[in-house]
């Protein structure tokens, strides 16, 4: 495969994973750790980059079939885990987070706008945009994606070229490392790579449609593309963390979901910051539209078994997104935190165990996954 095509797939992986949490959490981490940002970044990249890559590799080994991947712990437990994952990347997690970040970007310039009113408008727009599946989302994504990345990179580059002074905090290297490890969890990108791996495999096959390509070659190309996507994520996280740490004194006390707006205003000035925030706001809504379509289709086909129409499934999805959005970014985190803390370690172990099963015939996938879940549950109760 040509390097340009491989890079294109890597860029697609980056674009699919780069959502609201990928902006908010590294910015919040850099602000909170100050001059200890280097140690924090190591932890963040472990859970925010390496762990999602594990999910992608596992998904590729299972030919992009998340049902087979999750089914290695049993049909019923696998279906339950699939539902939990879809809920977290859908109406209870990633989708309302996109809307709250979109609101934070706009409300920075329109102080009188309430979250309730914005969420209502956003919910109506999302419903209208997803009532018929068409190419609008893809068109908007291709147009807004490069603009969003250009503006975000301008904040990073200018912030580094004209830095402020990082605050010196009374944090040890280990405290900073574990803070980064914790924040990387909340990107929840492992869930995304498990479910998006099928799209990556389809892209590889499309680019190689004129010649025979083995499963092993697909896996190798997929891993290379995943590394490219992971490196891009890591570079952006590094930039966000360092810029936020440099301006930590100026943005102390700013809510996490408004950090991007505050930094854009400080670094780019009010006029350019408005353009940056407007672009991020619309791009986040576009991501919300795409995620809403995915979940509504899942609800219709997998949960309701086509006994309920797509429109009613969509309505249920959008209403749930509207309710969750009104909790605000911090409120959404409080709701999903117990689920993520309980399930994420077992999901990481599931990926590792499945890779070991494929490579070394490891036969204890169920045992280690359920043991991890029980241990995590006991630790949370105690």
pLDDT of residue 130: 84
pLDDT of residue 145: 60
pTM for the model: 0.85
**Torsional sign, CA 339, 45, 103, 148:** negative
Give pLDDT tens digits along the chain (382 positions): 677 778 888 887 887 787 788 889 999 999 999 888 999 999 999 999 999 999 999 998 898 888 999 999 999 999 999 999 999 989 999 999 999 999 999 998 898 899 999 999 999 999 988 886 544 444 455 565 677 677 778 888 888 887 776 666 677 889 999 999 989 988 888 988 888 888 788 888 877 777 777 777 888 888 898 899 899 899 989 999 999 998 888 888 888 889 988 998 888 888 888 888 887 888 788 888 888 988 998 999 999 998 999 999 999 999 999 999 999 999 999 999 888 888 999 999 999 999 999 989 898 999 999 999 999 999 888 7
Q: Phi first, then psi: what are they for 253, rounded to 5°? A: 95, -15
Domain annotation for the chain: domains and CATH numbers: 3-333 (1.10.4160.10)
pLDDT of residue 166: 63
Contact 368, 348 (CB under 8 A): no
CA 154/CA 147 separation, integer angstroms: 11
| DSSP assignments along 315-381, one per residue | HHHHHHHHHHHTTHHHHHHHHHHHHHHHHHHHHHHHHHHHHHHHHH----HHHHHHHHHHHHHHHHH
CA 159/CA 273 separation, integer angstroms: 13
Contact 188, 340 (CB under 8 A): yes
| Residue 54 exposed, middle or buried by CB count within 10 Å (0-12, 13-18, 19+) | buried
Cα torsion 45, 49, 53, 56 to 10°: value is: 150
pLDDT in tens, 114-173: 999 999 999 999 998 888 654 444 445 556 567 767 777 888 888 888 777 666 667 788
Contact 68, 205 (CB under 8 A): no
pLDDT of residue 216: 77
pLDDT of residue 172: 84
Using the 8-state DSSP alphabet, how is residue 188 labeled? Answer: -
Which of helix, strand or coil describes residue 1?
A: coil
Hey, what are 342's tokens?
């309980």
Enumerate long-range contacts of 247-251, CB under 8 Å, 24 or more apart: 247/31, 247/159, 247/164, 248/30, 248/31, 248/32, 248/34, 248/166, 248/167, 249/164, 249/165, 249/167, 250/164, 251/31
Contact 200, 56 (CB under 8 A): yes
Enumerate long-range contacts of 74-81, CB under 8 Å, 24 or more apart: 74/366, 81/343, 81/347, 81/350
Cα torsion 108, 96, 181, 50 to 10°: value is: -110
**Of the candidates 356, 335, 324, 382, which has an alpha carbon nearest to the alpha carbon of residue 61?**
356
């Amino acid at each position: 495969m040509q390097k340009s095509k491989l890079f294109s797939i890597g860029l697609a992986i980056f674009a699919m994973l780069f959502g609201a949490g990928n902006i908010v959490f590294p910015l919040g981490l850099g602000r909170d750790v100050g001059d200890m940002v280097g140690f924090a970044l190591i932890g963040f990249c472990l859970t925010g980059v390496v762990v999602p890559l594990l999910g992608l590799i596992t998904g590729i080994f299972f030919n992009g079939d998340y049902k087979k991947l999750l089914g290695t712990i049993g049909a019923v437990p696998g279906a339950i885990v699939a539902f939990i994952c879809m809920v977290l990347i859908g109406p209870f997690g990633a989708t309302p987070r996109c809307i709250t970040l979109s609101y934070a970007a706009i409300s920075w310039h329109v102080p009188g706008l309430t979250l309730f009113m914005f969420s209502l408008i956003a919910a109506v727009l999302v419903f209208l945009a997803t009532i018929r599946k068409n190419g609008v989302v893809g068109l908007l994504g291709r147009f807004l994606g490069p603009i969003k990345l250009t503006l975000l990179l301008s904040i990073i580059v200018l912030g580094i070229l004209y830095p402020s002074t990082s605050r010196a905090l009374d944090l040890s290297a280990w405290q900073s490392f574990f803070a980064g490890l914790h924040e990387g969890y909340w990107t929840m990108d492992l869930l995304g790579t498990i479910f998006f791996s099928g799209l990556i495999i389809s892209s590889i096959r499309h680019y190689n449609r004129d010649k025979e390509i083995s499963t092993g070659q697909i896996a190798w190309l997929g891993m290379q593309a995943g590394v490219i996507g992971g490196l891009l994520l890591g570079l952006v996280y590094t930039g966000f963390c360092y810029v936020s740490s440099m301006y930590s004194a100026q943005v102390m006390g700013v809510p996490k979901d408004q950090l991007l707006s505050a930094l854009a205003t400080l670094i780019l000035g009010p006029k350019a910051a408005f353009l940056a925030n407007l672009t991020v706001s619309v791009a986040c809504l576009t991501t919300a539209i795409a995620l809403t379509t995915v979940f509504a289709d899942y609800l219709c086909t997998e949960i309701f078994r086509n006994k309920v129409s797509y429109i009613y499934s969509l309505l249920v999805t959008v209403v749930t997104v509207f309710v969750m959005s009104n909790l605000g970014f911090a409120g959404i985190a409080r709701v999903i935190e117990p689920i993520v803390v309980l399930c994420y370690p077992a999901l990481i172990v599931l990926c590792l165990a499945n890779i070991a099963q494929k490579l070394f015939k490891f036969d204890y996938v169920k045992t280690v996954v359920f043991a991890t879940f029980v241990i995590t549950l006991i630790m949370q109760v105690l």
